Amino acid sequence: MSNAPASPFTPLRPVSPDQVFVDAAAAAAARHLALAPAASMQELARAVGVSRATLFRRFPSRAALIAELCQSAAQAYVRAVNEAAPHDGPPTQALARVVEGLGRLAPVVGLLGLQTLGEHLEASLLAQTAQAEEELRRLVRRGQEGGYFRVEVDPEWFLAMLTWLMVGAADSVRLGRLTANAAHRHLSETLAAALLRPDELHHFTVRTPPDSRRR
């Protein structure tokens, strides 16, 4: 096990809805749902800047809208995990990359985890993210086998923490309790504290940009 410091990561600007969703209408709807998760189609139409009838021509129902947004969010999640390359390099550095990528997504896609999903859609989303989640399980096991991560932390618990911390981060930003950068920093530090062995945690640092409001 190396005593070299893990490469610190810098929380960047949150991913924009325009980078995740397929068009401006979907991005605007997602942006509004991040502020008002229970918004009606009438409210979403106003947020998108179209009539209710026009919105219904684009999305036949609220369920169809949520389904499209969740599919796009799942694709963004998979891209973020793949780009983080959790199988490459020391586990602490791989974890930093994973948390950076998914932390940037949290304010945009986190609250979609609270939307009511049909059984078929939920199964489709789980299938879509299955390989990415398996990559994260392998990262946890690799870190445990190498002596970097706590052996008592079940990889499934890590995935559960990651999912619901993304939801919590998004809600904190929605309510104005944390800036996006502060939520990202807290998310990463919480995951690191839960997963890393104490001697490795000492080297796992987070740099926060100067324009962040620290909490």
Convert 86-122 to b/e letters by CB count within 10 Å (16 or more is b). Answer: beeebbbbbbbbbbbbbbbbbbbbbbbbebebeeebe
Q: Say what the pLDDT of residue 18 is.
A: 83
Q: In this structure, is residue 207 part of a structural domain?
A: no
Domain count, the chain: 1
Q: Say what the pLDDT of residue 62 is.
A: 94
CATH at residue 168: 1.10.357.10
Q: Say what the pLDDT of residue 203 is.
A: 64
Question: For residue range 10-27, what is the model confidence (pLDDT) as tens digits?
Answer: 545 667 888 899 999 999
155, pLDDT greater than 70: yes
2, pLDDT greater than 90: no
Q: Say what the pLDDT of residue 60 is.
A: 95
Domain that holds residue 125: 63-201
Given the structure tokens 């939307």, which residue do they identify? 115
Radius of gyration, alpha carbons of the chain:
18
Q: In this structure, is residue 53 part of a structural domain?
A: no
Tell me the average pLDDT across 197-208. Answer: 67
7, pLDDT greater than 90: no
> What does the alpha-carbon distance between residue 54 and residue 25 come to, in Å, rounded to a whole number?
10
Look at 106 and 5; give whichever has higher pLDDT. Answer: 106
Q: Say what the pLDDT of residue 132 is.
A: 96
Question: For residue range 168-187, what is the model confidence (pLDDT) as tens digits?
Answer: 998 898 889 998 888 888 99
State the pLDDT confidence band at 204, using cuts at 50, 70 and 90. Answer: low
206, pLDDT greater than 90: no
Q: What is the pTM of this model?
A: 0.83
5, pLDDT greater than 60: no
Q: In this structure, is residue 152 part of a structural domain?
A: yes
Q: In this structure, is residue 186 part of a structural domain?
A: yes
Q: Say what the pLDDT of residue 14 is.
A: 67
Q: In this structure, is residue 81 part of a structural domain?
A: yes
Question: For residue range 70-108, what is the model confidence (pLDDT) as tens digits?
Answer: 999 999 999 999 999 999 999 999 998 999 889 888 888
Q: In this structure, is residue 136 part of a structural domain?
A: yes
Q: In this structure, is residue 51 part of a structural domain?
A: no
Contact between 104 and 12 under an 8 Å Cβ cutoff? The reply is: yes
Question: For residue range 31-61, what is the model confidence (pLDDT) as tens digits?
Answer: 898 888 899 999 999 999 999 999 999 999 9
Q: In this structure, is residue 14 part of a structural domain?
A: no
| DSSP for 1-50, written as a single string | ---SPPPPB---PPPPHHHHSSSHHHHHHHHHHHH-TT--HHHHHHHHTS
